[in-house]
Amino acid sequence: MSGELRLPELGLGRRSSHRPDDPAIGSHAAAFTRLAAVPDAKSFDSLFAELSAKVATHDPKSSTVARVEAGVHEIGKKIVEEAAEVWMAAEFQSKDQAATEISQLLYHIQVLMLALDLDLGDIYGRL
């Protein structure tokens, strides 16, 4: 399906008849259930499409465009910073704070993808 992250070896991104306690799926079935439970949430794919459009049109008001134009080195430093914040939130803060930090890391990963002219297929093909 277009616009859907698919991880077939984990049983994610598709409907499955497996039970959550099935060893073929394990705890990953619960993760799939959580994904399916937030239909109005922005997805990795929809965020990438949104950011790609901003970069393609060189939107002068976009902080994403400014970050891409700053280059790989600056983006990389931001990714390292965000990764540390993810770790610290996971270690010492709430799940909600960890989720916020993870979402920020994913955003900066996508900014790097755009700076490198990578698309989702380049990444998904290697999962």
| 54 and 111 together in one domain | yes
Query: Is residue 94 helix, strand or coil?
Result: coil
Domain count, the chain: 2
| 9 and 53 together in one domain | no
| 91 and 48 together in one domain | yes
C-alpha distance from residue 22 to each of 10, 18, 25, 82, 84 (Å): 12, 6, 6, 35, 34
| 10 and 25 together in one domain | yes
% of the chain residues with pLDDT over 90: 65
| 97 and 117 together in one domain | yes
| 58 and 71 together in one domain | yes
DSSP at 24: T
Q: What is the pLDDT of residues 2-33, one digit of tens each?
A: 444 443 333 333 333 334 444 544 554 555 55
| 37 and 47 together in one domain | no
- Using alpha carbons, select from 63, 61, 71, 62 the residue that is nearest to residue 115: 71
| 81 and 125 together in one domain | yes
- Using alpha carbons, select from 64, 60, 66, 70 the residue that is nearest to residue 108: 64
Positive or negative, the CA dihedral 6, 9, 15, 20 is negative
Domain extent, residue 88, equals 42-127
Q: What is the pLDDT of residues 46-66, one digit of tens each?
A: 999 999 999 999 989 999 999
| 58 and 73 together in one domain | yes
**Whole-model pTM over 0.75:** no
Query: Is residue 83 helix, strand or coil?
Result: helix
